[in-house]
Amino acid sequence: MPSVAVKLYSVFFKFILKHRLQNRIQGPTDESSNPYGVTTRPEESVSASNPSFTDGVATKDIHIDPFTALSIRIFLPESALVPPEQPEPKSKPGSSQHDDSNSIYNRRNSYGPPNMGVSRNDSRRTSFEGLNLRSESNAYRGYSPLPQNCRKLPIMLQFHGGGWVSGSNESVANDFFCRRIAKLCDVIVVAVGYRLAPENKYPAAFEDGLKVLNWLGKQANLAECSKSMGSGALGVGAEFKKAEVQRHIVDAFGASMVEPWLAAHGDPSRCVLLGVSCGANIADYVARKAVEAGRLLDPVKVVAQVLMYPFFIGSVPTHSEVKLANSYFYDKAMCTLAWKLFLPEEEFSLDHPAANPLIPDRGPPLKLMPPTLTVVAEHDWMRDRGIAYSEALRKVNVDAPVLEYKDAVHEFATLDMLLKTPQAQACAEDIAIWVKKYISIRGHEFSY
């Protein structure tokens, strides 16, 4: 059973959440009152972005749609700055076989900054120093490195939870979770700040998720265009000319400028979707649309998705929905109220395609879905629905394992109070093990 502290915090959490939901449902819901939308609430504790590698991850915020509040936060792990697989240097005659500076550099080749333990006169430093990757304050400026020193990392789109009406990609809890995932999975995390209900009802949040996926494809194509137009610049002396060409591309495209962190370090052909609670519903929708789009999304390819305690529901109650209806943090009554705030009144149904993943004639065919990892908690009333979806995927030969955590509650790995528990850390590590099966470069796959 959950601890006494968790039970007490759950009572307080549910009281506050119920009060906020009732205020939302009693307030004005006319979309014309705020067509721009909101992506965070005043009561939400947010964490400022930081381009320095605090705790091994640098972050930046980008507003990607001029017509809505849609934004993203990019989490870049420091390992992206390490050159890809440099061979160990040969020892010079008369020198020690285990020189301290070289051994430190090699031991940190996968995790730390590239210059640690390397002398200032070492030739391996020159290519990075010329790039001006960091300022004196250790902030990462994001200038594109030279092709031979560019390490490409998979991209993970992350969708936060909050029952459609709250939560934020910039919240303290989500920032901590995304940093953890970026380091464990060795990926660039793009946390999506989708528009919240009731100001923007369905399908706004789903469309925002798909819009970010399309934006990734656009960024990849712009970066390739920039690279090809600057390919004539060869040698160190031509770097200035190459920078001028890239600046011209930025000016020509205006708002569609190349995002330097993704251009330098992102590999959209290894894209993973991760959704938390209601964010899992968005991730599944985006995965379905990616399947339908096929090669139209090139070079973006969704290779896997992770659904963490998905916010699925249906009109016919499951065993857990009956037994655990009054479970911790998010009970069934409050979640039903959240669905009423999210779905348009004329479309409200617990079997809505956004709510129930197993309704008939919901395309595309399940056999075309990407590998899907589902995380469920023992004391979550929505657990059976997530397990049933995973079973349906396995029946059509999709790799769709379920990770069930004993004595766990809904959002046990992402809720602010529970983020630093051993169970939350173990869940993130388990996700990393599975995800690396699909994002590792051929020849470096993890066994599973």
Catalogue all structural domains in the chain, each as residue range(s) with its CATH number: 4-26+37-81+146-230+258-439 (3.40.50.1820)
Contact 271, 301 (CB under 8 A): yes
Distance CA 89, CA 79 (A): 20
The two most distant CA atoms of the chain are separated, in Å, by 82
Closest alpha carbon to 386 in 342, 324, 337:
324
Distance, in Å, from the CA atom of 6 to the CA atom of 417, rounded to the nearest integer, reads 8
Q: Spell out the alpha helix ranges (H) of 121-258.
A: 123-129, 172-185, 204-229, 239-253
pLDDT at 126: 30
Q: What tokens appear for 10 in the block?
A: 């759950």
Closest CA to 44 of 130, 136, 168: 168
CA distance 353 to 313: 10
Q: What is the pLDDT of residue 16?
A: 84
The rounded distance, in Å, linking the Cα atoms of 57 and 50 is 9
Output the pLDDT for position 3: 84
Catalytic residue among 160, 265, 352, 410: 410
Residue 112: the pLDDT is 34
pTM summary value? 0.82
For tokens 């050159």, name the residue.
83
**CB 108, CB 90: distance < 8 Å:** no
**Count of CA atoms in the C-beta half-sphere (13 A) of 293:** 18
Contact at 8 Å (CB) between 421 and 415?
Answer: no
Q: Is 444 a catalytic residue?
A: no
Bridge pairing between strands 57-63 and 71-77: antiparallel
Mean pLDDT per 10-residue run, the chain (448 residues)? 84 84 70 74 93 93 95 96 61 42 33 36 34 54 52 96 95 97 97 96 96 95 76 42 45 61 94 98 98 94 98 94 90 92 94 94 92 97 97 97 96 95 97 95 48
In the prediction, which pLDDT does 382 show?
96
Report the 10 Å Cβ neighbour count for 251: 9
User: How many CB atoms within 10 Å of residue 56?
Assistant: 15
Whether 371 and 438 have beta carbons less than 8 Å apart is answered as yes
Contact (Cβ atoms closer than 8 angstroms) between residue 69 and residue 195: yes
Write the CB contacts of 8 (distance below 8 Å, at least 6 apart in sequence).
none
Report the distance separating Cα 181 and Cα 156, nearest Å. 9
Pick from 60, 18, 42: which is nearest to 262 by CA?
A: 60
Q: How far apart are CA 255 and CA 325, in angstroms?
A: 47
| Catalytic residue list contains 351 | no
Active site residue 277: yes
Six-digit token string for 180:
């953890």
Could you say which of 208, 380, 384, 390 is catalytic?
380
> From CA 424, how far away is CA 399, in angstroms rounded?
23
Count of other CB atoms within 10 angstroms of residue 73: 22
Q: Which of 10, 79, 277, 390 is catalytic?
A: 277
Q: Distance between CA atoms of 220 and 151, rounded to whole angstroms?
A: 15
Q: Token pair 């109650």 is at which residue?
A: 317
